[in-house]
């Protein structure tokens, strides 16, 4: 082969490979829908895309945690709401008894049965479980939060899970705080007040019912010796306040879920802008590459046998 022929052939091979590579790349971009086919295509955008993917995965984890927490918070808020409703039903009967006393033995039996049934209902409600876990026993979730006497047997430590960077919400609760336990007796103060009323009715002497009978300290605040109604109201207020706190956590969880969903969409759009191919642009470039390749083949075909002898 003559030197000019070798040079001509090398040039053809070089441009042939370039055009074939272009056609192959644009074809794969169309097939995959991605413009980054390998990290080496665009190292910076690849790193950005991986970072966005990790952020999206982190948000997805937070959203799964929010779903778990939201279910727990709903049950907790509903439970405290049921206790508050029951206590508000009991309170007028306590006031009536304080004002009128017990009219007769039959009246006493009716009142006692009412207070006993409401006391048992409140205690049973406070021992609510989610699956096999007591909701208000803190981290000691394998036991009932309160025993049959209304004494708290859970722990003060609570379990929380992250729902956003720097934000954690409860998956169980310290019943001593949320239900309002008298730190001097270890009993839920509402249960203790009802037990004292039942005790006085059983004794047949309710003359002491308006006297300071209970020594109360709830959530670090010492109230000293107070009446049954005052103690009952402290317990009711404590539960109502913590019900509101759980309601606030529910609002936080819902707001974070909305923010996360918005961020996730934004991250997906940014990732798409970095990775996804522009079909119209790729098709145009593919057609240009095909045209250039066809022109190369035509040029080679027309010029491979050229000789000065043809023009003599």
**Whole-Å CA distances, 185 to 86, 118, 306:** 23, 21, 111
| Spatial CA neighbour of 195 closest among 86, 115, 101, 100 | 115
207/98 Cα distance (integer angstroms): 9
Given this model, what pLDDT does residue 47 score?
73
pLDDT at 308: 43
Beta bridge partners of 130: 133
The highest-confidence range among 10-14, 74-78, 265-269, 300-304, by mean pLDDT, is 74-78
Phi, psi (rounded to 5 degrees) for 276: -75, 140
Instruction: Name the token pair of 106.
Output: 């039959």
Q: Which two tokens stand for residue 184?
A: 């001097």
| CATH architecture under which domain 55-267 falls | Up-down Bundle (1.20)
Quickly state the pLDDT bin for 24 (edges 50, 70, 90).
Answer: low
Q: What is the pLDDT of residue 211?
A: 80
Rg (CA), the chain: 39
Res 1: pLDDT = 46
- Helix ranges restricted to H, the chain: 3-32, 43-100, 105-126, 175, 189-203, 228-275, 279-303
pTM assigned to the model: 0.75
Distance of CA 203 to the CA centre of its chain: 51
DSSP letter for 179, please.
I
Question: Which H or E element spans position 67?
Answer: helix 43-100
For residue 223, give both structure tokens: 């109230």
Tokens 């001097």 correspond to 184
Q: Pick the residue with more confidence: 141 or 35?
A: 141
Query: Quick check: 37 and 29 in contact, CB under 8 A?
Result: yes
Lowest mean pLDDT among 43-52, 78-87, 296-305: 296-305
Confidence label for 4 from pLDDT (cuts 50, 70 and 90): low
Residue 134 pLDDT: 94
Start-to-end Cα distance in the chain: 23
151 secondary structure, DSSP code: B
d(CA 162, CA 167): 6
> How far apart, in Å, are the Cα atoms of 270 and each of 48, 57, 245, 257?
9, 15, 37, 20
pLDDT at 105: 75
pLDDT of amino acid 109: 85
Tens of pLDDT, residue by residue over 267-295, are: 777 766 655 555 566 566 656 656 655 66
Indicate the domain borders of the chain: 55-267
Q: What is the largest CA-CA distance in the chain?
A: 141
- Tell me the pLDDT of the chain averaged across its residues: 82
45-54, 115-124, 222-231: least confidently modelled range: 45-54
C-alpha atoms less than 13 angstroms from C-alpha of 299 in its C-beta half-sphere = 13
Which tokens hold the place of 134? 């007591």
- Sign for the CA dihedral angle at 39, 41, 43, 48 comes to negative
């Amino acid at each position: 082969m003559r030197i000019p022929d070798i040079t001509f052939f090398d040039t053809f091979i070089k441009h042939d490979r370039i055009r074939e590579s272009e056609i192959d790349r644009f074809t794969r971009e169309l097939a995959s829908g991605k413009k980054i086919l390998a990290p080496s295509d665009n190292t910076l955008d690849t790193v950005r895309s991986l970072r966005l993917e990790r952020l999206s995965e982190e948000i997805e984890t937070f959203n799964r945690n929010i779903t778990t927490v939201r279910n727990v918070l709903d049950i907790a808020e509903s439970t405290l709401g049921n206790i508050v409703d029951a206590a508000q039903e009991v309170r007028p009967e306590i006031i009536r008894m304080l004002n009128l006393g017990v009219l007769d033995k039959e009246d006493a039996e009716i009142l006692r049965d009412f207070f006993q049934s409401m006391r048992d209902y409140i205690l049973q409600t406070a021992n609510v479980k989610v699956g096999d876990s007591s909701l208000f026993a803190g981290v000691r979730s394998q036991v009932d939060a309160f025993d049959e006497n209304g004494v708290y047997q859970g722990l003060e430590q609570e379990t929380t899970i992250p729902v956003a960077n720097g934000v954690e919400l409860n998956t169980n609760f310290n019943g001593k705080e949320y239900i309002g336990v008298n730190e001097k007796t270890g009993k839920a103060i509402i249960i203790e007040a009802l037990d004292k009323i039942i005790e006085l009715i059983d004794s047949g002497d309710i003359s002491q019912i308006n006297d300071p009978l209970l020594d109360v300290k709830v959530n670090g605040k010492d109230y000293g010796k107070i009446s049954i109604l005052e103690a009952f109201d402290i317990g009711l207020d404590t539960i109502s306040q913590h019900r509101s706190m759980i309601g606030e956590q529910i609002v936080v969880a819902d707001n974070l879920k909305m923010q996360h969903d918005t961020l996730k969409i934004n991250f997906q759009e940014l990732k798409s802008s970095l990775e996804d191919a522009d079909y119209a642009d790729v098709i145009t470039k593919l057609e240009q590459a095909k045209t250039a390749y066809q022109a190369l083949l035509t040029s080679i075909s027309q010029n491979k046998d050229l000789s000065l002898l043809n023009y003599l």
